[in-house]
């Protein structure tokens, strides 16, 4: 646990009592603060009270008298599409609003660090797609290299639930836009921006607000090194804003769209080969084509980002290459769940938006595509760019018929996962891939994308 500093003897309100909220309340208590907790869910309040935490209705008049700050869980809106009433009440009362990420960055460092040969480092990863895989891959590389590493944030453990930093240790954080937009302190040593595509636009008031939330990770604290994916205009703009000039190697540009040249520091992947250039000279190269845990160009982008982050900590290219080959991939993200009779079955339930689904489709040549669900803003037109990879689409979800009508590929309305898997397996031929890449949210039929991916996996395995 990381005890929260700066609030000893003060009352701190905690809104939302899920994983991060409970960890925050415990860490506040450990730092000498008095957490005052609230969640609209009675079961969540009961669980908190079972741990001895105090719950008080933060919606009542006068609830923010003598409250030092309000800590908000990631899923609770503070501005768009409209503020949560509790957040609005705190704002009206002049009470600062923060989250667990902000508390972590103000509390992680300790006086014992003066005795360390190498102070602990924090690598923070954000972006629209690939941030979970990139963060997990960085953690895997560091662990394989014998470095003390912890994975936390939007993946792994809550940030305040991890162990204090040791000599030479590294904390790898995956941070969503919900987390970066509100944190009052953001001071990573290395910050990574994978890419940007439209997502959560209602929460951020449009694409500009979404990018601004991501950009805060780089603008607020000024990381020692910034790893920036520049295949979108926003990433290229961000890299230009951070660099003092073409040779400023504090910014490491990454790409899977083109070869990068120039006097700075670049990492790019083309035709399955990762290359590192520094000061105009090649300093590293890795063949990514046979790494099963990282299929497709989107995973090659993740590999470039992880490679660059680890190189910034001084790891040798060959050490990183060795670790890449043992990376198993993440559940629900281009996860190979079975191979039978020449057919490969891949679970990419995390492909909840059009861009991530397009990248998943592009990773394979002959695809039986299971897709559909709760459609997001922007339509599905971009998916038709991958129609050359799709033999047939099998559409699930309550609005499967409407979803199917937007596809140019041959599409069959299946509605349920059971029907889609059954038909796709009946049709599949050797050399083909049955891929779940929904391009939609799961909430019309499932509680979350993990449950959807587990259902796909179970349906496949019971037929093998």
Tokens representing 187?
């001071």
- Distance in angstroms (rounded) separating the CA atoms of residues 56 and 35: 10
Distances in Å between the alpha carbon of 34 and those of 20, 21, 94? Answer: 17, 14, 19
The answer on whether 127 is annotated among ligand-binding residues is yes
- Distance in angstroms (rounded) separating the CA atoms of residues 122 and 300: 23
Nearest to 32 by CA among 58, 11, 54: 11
The answer on whether 50 is annotated among ligand-binding residues is no
Whether 338 contacts 345, CB under 8 Å = yes
The answer on whether 8 is annotated among ligand-binding residues is no
The answer on whether 128 is annotated among ligand-binding residues is yes
Alpha carbons within 13 A on the beta-carbon side of 413:
10
- Distance in angstroms (rounded) separating the CA atoms of residues 89 and 94: 9
Distances in Å between the alpha carbon of 30 and those of 25, 27, 46, 144, 163? Answer: 9, 5, 21, 33, 13
The answer on whether 132 is annotated among ligand-binding residues is yes
Tokens representing 115?
């005795």
The answer on whether 279 is annotated among ligand-binding residues is no
Crossing angle between the packed helical segments 317-325 and 296-312, to the nearest 10 degrees = 140
Residues in the chain: 464
Contacts of 180 (CB under 8 A, 6+ apart): 101, 126, 186, 213, 214, 216, 217
Tokens representing 286?
């890795």
Contacts of 35 (CB under 8 A, 6+ apart): 11, 12, 13, 14, 24, 25, 28, 29, 53, 54
The answer on whether 334 is annotated among ligand-binding residues is no
| Sequence ranges of the binding site for ATP | 127-133
| Sequence ranges of the binding site | 127-133
């Amino acid at each position: 646990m990381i005890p929260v500093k700066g609030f000893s003897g003060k009352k701190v309100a905690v809104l939302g009592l899920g994983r991060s909220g409970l960890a925050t309340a415990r860490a506040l208590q450990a730092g000498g603060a008095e957490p005052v907790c609230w969640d609209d869910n009675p079961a969540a309040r009961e669980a908190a009270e079972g741990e001895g935490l105090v719950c008080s209705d933060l919606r009542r008049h006068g609830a923010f008298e003598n409250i030092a700050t309000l800590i908000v869980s990631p899923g609770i809106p503070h501005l768009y599409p409209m503020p949560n009433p509790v957040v609005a009440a705190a704002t009206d009362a002049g009470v600062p609003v923060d989250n667990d990420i902000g508390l972590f960055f103000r509390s992680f460092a300790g006086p014992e660090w003066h005795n360390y040969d190498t102070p602990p480092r924090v690598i923070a990863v954000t972006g629209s797609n690939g941030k979970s895989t990139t963060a997990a891959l960085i953690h895997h590389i560091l662990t394989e290299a014998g470095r003390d590493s912890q994975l936390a944030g939007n993946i792994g453990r809550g940030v305040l639930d991890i162990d204090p930093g040791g000599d030479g240790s590294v904390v790898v954080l995956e941070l969503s836009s919900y987390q970066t937009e509100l944190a009052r302190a953001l001071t990573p040593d290395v910050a990574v921006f994978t890419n940007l595509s439209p997502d959560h636009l209602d929460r951020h008031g449009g694409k500009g607000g979404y990018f601004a939330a991501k950009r805060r990770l780089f603008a607020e604290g000024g990381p020692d090194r910034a790893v920036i994916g520049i295949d979108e205009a926003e990433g290229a703009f961000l890299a230009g804003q951070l660099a003092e000039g073409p040779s400023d190697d504090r910014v490491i540009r990454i790409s899977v769209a083109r070869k990068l040249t120039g006097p700075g520091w670049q990492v790019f992947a083309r035709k399955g080969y990762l290359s590192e250039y520094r000061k105009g000279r090649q300093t590293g190269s890795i063949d990514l084509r046979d790494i099963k845990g990282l299929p497709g160009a989107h995973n090659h982008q993740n590999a470039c980002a992880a490679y660059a982050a680890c190189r910034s900590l001084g790891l040798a290219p060959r050490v990183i290459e060795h670790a890449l080959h043992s990376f198993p991939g993440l559940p629900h993200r281009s996860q190979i769940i079975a191979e039978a009779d020449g057919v490969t079955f891949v679970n990419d339930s995390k492909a909840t938006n059009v861009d991530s689904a397009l990248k998943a489709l592009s990773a394979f040549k002959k695809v039986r595509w299971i897709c559909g669900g709760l459609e997001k803003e922007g339509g599905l037109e971009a998916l038709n760019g991958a129609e050359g990879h799709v033999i047939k689409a099998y559409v699930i979800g309550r609005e499967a018929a409407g979803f199917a009508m937007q596809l140019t590929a041959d599409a069959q309305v299946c509605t349920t996962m059971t029907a889609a898997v059954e038909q796709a397996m009946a049709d599949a031929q050797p050399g083909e891939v049955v891929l779940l890449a929904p391009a939609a949210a799961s909430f019309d039929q499932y509680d979350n994308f993990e449950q959807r991916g587990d259902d796909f996996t179970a349906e496949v395995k019971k037929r093998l």
